[in-house]
Amino acid sequence: MKLKLYTIIFLGFGTILLSCASAKKLYEKGNYDEAVEKAAKKLQKDPHDVKLQDLILDAYAFAVKDHEDRIQNYSLSNNELKWEWMYHEYADLQKLYDAIFNAPDVFDLVKPIDYSSHIIVNREKAAAVRFDRGIAFMQHYDKESYRNAYREFKYALQLDPGKVEAAQMKEEAYEYAVTNIALIPLQPYNNFAFSSFNSGYDDMDQRMIRNLQYNSGNEFVRFYSMSEARNLNIRIDMVANMRITSMDIGRNRETNSIRKVSKEVVIKETVIKPDSVVKKYGKVHADVITTTRTFYSDASLQLNFLDDNGRLLWSEQFPAEHRWSTQFSSFRGDERALNDADLALINKRKEFPPSQNEITQILLDRMYNNVASRLRNYASRY
């Protein structure tokens, strides 16, 4: 029991020493803010640690001086963002105040300064500057300026979330800044599609729309189906028109090869007496006929990217192919000439190629994956 008690005391004493050393190390490196926070946290557990008390007094004094010196320099600057810079400095000072406030004994010792009023004043001025910058960008009437305006209003709201006018202008700027792209539904190649697959084209269109909407690659690019854009009365800036230009399903190719095999086996046994048998060996022969059957399919999809006036901006072909093959064997001659591998191929279960619908789906998947990636990359430049 005594050993356990000594261990607990030793560990507690070691933790205190380590905490003090950690805060001191931060202080010696000039990381005064972190040193104050670390020391304040440890003094909550041991408010009578004299070394930590001295350290937090010195660290806080240096931290305040550093921040207030920067605030003084910023206040003399002609840069319109100086209020934002000063706000962040005051926010750091207030963070130190809050850290010390959580330790009442330390609070009475250090007597930190409450900078909350400075934070409010500088935050409001910083938000007003960001708002005015956004309004100025809006006057240029081009997409890049609208995007800059959107960012300025966004910064203004981060500084002052209750600024209703900034929220309204942010939405307005975004609507002007965004590029809306509508996708025309994919049409089958020369009406190639069995009635059972017609829904497959619609499903692929929906999958691509969801894919692009979830990850457009650019916050200022939005994708819609053509019907969705019209139903929502969305301004269409660009149109992506996809069509299958070729589709060749299941070209069959079959090749045969003949391999002659032989093996020495017992062809006759003569019993002289019960414990004496004479075996006669001879060579048996067989032909192994191996058939390789291959189905090759390919398709190509063309993507045309047009502006709102129907002018072609970009066009690209996206090919895809699918290969399926199977191999099976038969034989003629003496089965005893066959080895295990030959027998496995001969007894192999018959395989059937994918259906035309399945192959079409595979080809579409491959083309669409490439189209979605390229469409996202191309649209991201707008």
Structure tokens at 266: 């017992």
Q: Do 63 and 33 form a contact (C-beta atoms < 8 A)?
A: yes
SS3 180: strand
Q: Do 213 and 178 form a contact (C-beta atoms < 8 A)?
A: no
Q: Determine whether 274 is exposed, middle or buried from the number of CB atoms within 10 Å of its CB (0-12, 13-18, 19+).
A: exposed
Supply the pLDDT for residue 15.
45
C-alpha to C-alpha distance for 294 and 36, rounded to whole angstroms: 74
What are the extents of the domains in the chain?
A: 2-114, 124-177, 186-379
C-alpha to C-alpha distance for 22 and 39, rounded to whole angstroms: 9
Question: Whose structure tokens read 């990636």?
Answer: 373
Alpha carbon 60 to chain centroid, angstroms: 42
Closest CA to 131 of 97, 90, 99, 162: 162
C-alpha to C-alpha distance for 102 and 44, rounded to whole angstroms: 8
Supply the pLDDT for residue 2.
42
Supply the pLDDT for residue 151.
97
Strand order of the β-sheet with 221-225 is: 221-225, 179-187, 238-273, 276-307, 312-333
Per-residue model confidence as pLDDT tens for the chain (382 residues)? 444 443 444 444 444 444 456 889 999 999 999 999 999 999 988 888 999 999 999 999 999 999 999 999 999 999 999 999 999 999 999 999 999 998 888 899 999 999 999 999 999 999 999 999 999 999 999 999 999 999 999 999 999 999 999 999 999 999 999 999 999 988 766 655 444 555 556 677 888 888 888 888 889 999 999 999 999 999 999 999 988 888 888 778 888 999 999 988 887 877 777 777 778 888 999 999 998 999 999 999 999 999 989 999 999 999 999 999 998 888 999 989 899 988 988 888 878 888 888 888 889 888 988 888 898 888 877 7
Question: Whose structure tokens read 């027998």?
Answer: 343
DSSP track, 321-357: EEEEEEEEEEEEE-GGG--HHHHHHHSPPP--PPPHH
Strand partners, 239: 182, 306
Supply the pLDDT for residue 10.
40
Q: How far is CA 31 from CA 65, 66, 100, in A?
A: 13, 11, 16
